[in-house]
Amino acid sequence: MKVYPIKFNPILKEKIWGGNKLKQVLLKDTNKKNVGESWEISDVNGNVSVVSNGIYKGSNLKELIKEHKSNFLGVKNFENFGYNFPLLIKFLDAKTDLSVQVHPDNEMAKKYHDSFGKTEMWYIMDSDEGADIVLGLKDKTTNPEVLNHITSVNLDTIFNREQVTKGESFFIPAGKIHAIGAGVLAAEIQQTSDITYRVYDWDREDDNGQKRELHTKLAEKATKQFESNGKSDYVIGKDDMANLVNCEYFTTNILELSNTQEKNYKHLDSFIIFMCVEGKVDITVGEQTETLITGETIILPANTQHVVFNSNSSKLLEVYIS
């Protein structure tokens, strides 16, 4: 497989809670309003990403996997996932609160939806003053049956809410109640799944005066209790790397760059994704260089070996399956 930094056309999603930061801050080209999500790399049915650069321009993600198999995915990934891409990569802009929700694990998703479960993580790229997120139930002894009785009166006694700031990272395993709050701009890495069980949607209505469907019975079955809030405790220095998440579904590191660095991925049996969450960087593989600015994403095939990064100031999320 020809190795170079592969870019895809973003798939932009209007959401009832979306805003304008994906267009105005991350410079996504769209005339849509209330854009809440930019799907950077997707293999979700009906939303398969299409290559925007290089010799594979015009090919979609499915076609790359079908043609190049383990050279693109990695040997173990191709054995485990076949012709399916295992991750969904997004940027999100929450102008208002997302619904409080929970995702099923692999076992439940397979049983009810014939799908993967949904474990995910967030990296906070920016946040308005006082912005917060919902992470789990406030009382670890609370019976998930309470999710059938959430109201505007009791929600603050049930959900754990935490203020967030730029640079923080959170791991949300399947089964954890969560919601991104108003004013948060985030990068999201997740299993390939679009299954969400809503348990509370802030009593809002759409343009037709209809409230969105809730899925409280399924949410009750899916909800698990976790002792940790999932916040990554990391410290990173100049031209350094730190691990944010290392789970069975993905590994995510953060790289801080201020000069030229080289990395060798010869012994990594996986594709590598880079999301630029701050600044600007040139990524060179072989004879081809691609520039990433804040809000852009590239993928390198699994047969990539030598990579050169050149940046005066940038931060990248590095994602792969180990």
Mean pLDDT in residue range 313-317? 98
> Which of 222, 252, 274 delimits the end of a domain?
222
Do 208 and 305 belong to one domain? no
Q: Is residue 43 domain-resident? A: yes
Q: Is residue 78 part of a domain?
A: yes
Q: Of 189, 222, 255, at which residue does a domain stop? A: 222
Same domain, 112 and 47: yes
State whether residue 3 is helix, strand or coil: coil
Look at residue 35 and tell me if it is in a domain: yes
H or E element: which one contains 136? strand 132-137
Segment 229-255 shows an average pLDDT of 96
pLDDT of residue 208: 85
Same domain, 259 and 196: no
* Residue 91 within a domain: yes
Mean pLDDT value across residues 196-214: 91
Q: What is the mean pLDDT of residues 11-30?
A: 97
Provide, rounded to the nearest whole percent, the portion of the chain with pLDDT above 90.
90
Burial of 310: CB neighbours in 10 Å, binned 0-12, 13-18, 19+: middle
DSSP state of 66: H
Q: Looking at the structure, do residues 210 and 247 belong to the same domain, yes or no? A: no
| 2 assigned to some structural domain | no
Does the residue 229 lie in any domain?
no
Q: What is the mean pLDDT of the chain?
A: 96
Percent of the chain beyond pLDDT 70? 100
The reply to whether 97 and 21 lie within a common domain is: yes
Same domain, 178 and 285: no
Q: One of 161, 198, 204, 212 is an active-site residue; which one?
A: 198
* CATH code of the domain covering residue 311: 2.60.120.10
Does residue 6 sit within a domain? no
Predicted TM-score (pTM) of this structure? 0.95
* 265 contacts 304 by C-beta, under 8 angstroms: yes
- Say if residue 217 is in the same domain as residue 263: no
pLDDT at 90 over 90: yes
- At residue 44, what is the residue type? V
The residue count of the chain comes to 322
Flag whether pLDDT at 140 surpasses 80: no
Q: Beta strands 297-300 and 35-41: pairing type?
A: unpaired
Q: What angle do CA 238, 240, 246 make, to 5 degrees?
A: 140
The predicted structure's pLDDT at residue 234: 96
User: What pLDDT, on a 0 to 100 scale, did the predictor assign at position 250?
Assistant: 98
Final residue belonging to a domain, choices 172, 195, 222: 222
**pLDDT interval class at 158 (50, 70, 90):** very high
Residue where the block lists tokens 């079908």: 66
The larger pLDDT score, comparing residue 143 to residue 215, is at 215
Quote the CA–CA distance of 67 and 146 in Å, as a whole number: 49
pLDDT over 90 (residue 318): yes
216 lies in the same domain as 250: no
Q: Which two tokens stand for residue 294?
A: 């804040």
Q: Is residue 217's pLDDT more than 90?
A: yes
- Tell whether 168 and 296 lie within a shared domain: no
Give the whole-angstrom CA distance, residue 207 versus residue 312.
46
Answer yes or no: is pLDDT of 220 > 90.
yes
Span of 22-36, 110-124, 139-153 with lowest mean pLDDT: 139-153
Structure confidence at residue 206 (pLDDT):
81
What average pLDDT does this structure show over 291-299?
Answer: 98
**Same structural domain, 188 and 302:** no
Exposed / middle / buried, residue 210 (Cβ in 10 Å: 0-12, 13-18, 19+):
exposed
Stretch among 32-46, 150-164, 174-188, 258-272 having the lowest mean pLDDT: 150-164
Q: What is the pLDDT of residues 102-123, one digit of tens each?
A: 999 999 999 999 999 999 999 9
Residue-level pLDDT at 317: 98
Question: Do 217 and 172 share a domain, yes or no?
Answer: yes
User: What was the pLDDT predicted at 288?
Assistant: 95
Q: Averaged over 186-192, what is the pLDDT?
A: 98
The total domain count for the chain is: 2
Look up residue 97 and give its DSSP letter.
P
Q: Give a yes or no: residue 234 inside a domain.
A: no
Q: 3-state DSSP call for residue 85?
A: coil
The yes-or-no answer on residue 198 being catalytic is yes
Nearest 5°: CA angle at 69, between 68 and 71? 70
Residue 244 tokens read as: 């944010």
Same domain, 205 and 250: no
Q: State mean pLDDT over 84-105.
A: 97
Domain carrying residue 69: 11-222
CA angle 64, 70, 75 (to 5 degrees): 155
